[in-house]
Amino acid sequence: MGDALVFFFAAVLTLPIPFIFVFYLFTRKWSKHKWKAIHRTTSLSAPVFILSVHLLLLVLFEQSFFAYILIFLFLLLGISLIVQYKIHEEVRLRRVFKAFWRISFLFFTFFYLGLTLYGLFERLFS
C-alpha cells in the first residue's frame, strides 16, 4: 500500500498536466458547475506545480532552489497584499490569499512548461 501511494505521488509530481485534466473531470462531476470546478482545480493543483517546478530545477541544474521558490512566493503574497490595499483600501486576507494562490498557479504552470521545454531542448541538442 505504501509503495502504491509513493508511486501515485511521484506520477502526479512528474506529470502534473494530465493530473489537472483528471482532477478537473472529477471536480466537474462532483460540483456540477464549470467555474467552481476550474477554481477548485487550480487551487488544489498549485502546490503540485510548485513541487514539480522544484523537482525539475533539481533534475536540470542538480541543485535545490527551494529557498528561492519560497522567497518568490512570499514576494507574490506581498504584492497581492499591496495591490488589494491600493484597489480596495481594505485588506481581506481570504481574498488576498485566493488571488495569491491563483497567480502562483499561473506563474508555476508557465515555469513548469518553460522548464520542460528547456529540458527537452537541452537533451536533444547537447
Instruction: Give the CA diameter of the chain.
Output: 52
Residue ranges per domain, the chain? 2-125
Classified as helix, coil or strand, 3 is helix
How would DSSP label each residue in 59-99? HHHSS--HHHHHHHHHHHHHHHHHHHHHHHSS--HHHHHHH
Q: What is the pLDDT of residues 62-100, one digit of tens each?
A: 999 999 999 999 999 999 999 999 999 888 999 999 999
Residue 2 has pLDDT above 90, yes or no: no
- Determine phi and psi for 64, rounding to 5 degrees: -85, 135
Query: How far is residue 81's CA from residue 101's CA, in Å, rounded to a whole number?
Result: 12
Span 98-110, pLDDT tens digits: 999 999 999 999 9
How far is it, in rounded angstroms, from Cα 4 to Cα 10?
10
Q: What is the dihedral of CA 24, 32, 5, 56, to 10 degrees?
A: 20
Question: Is the whole model's pTM more than 0.85, yes or no?
Answer: yes
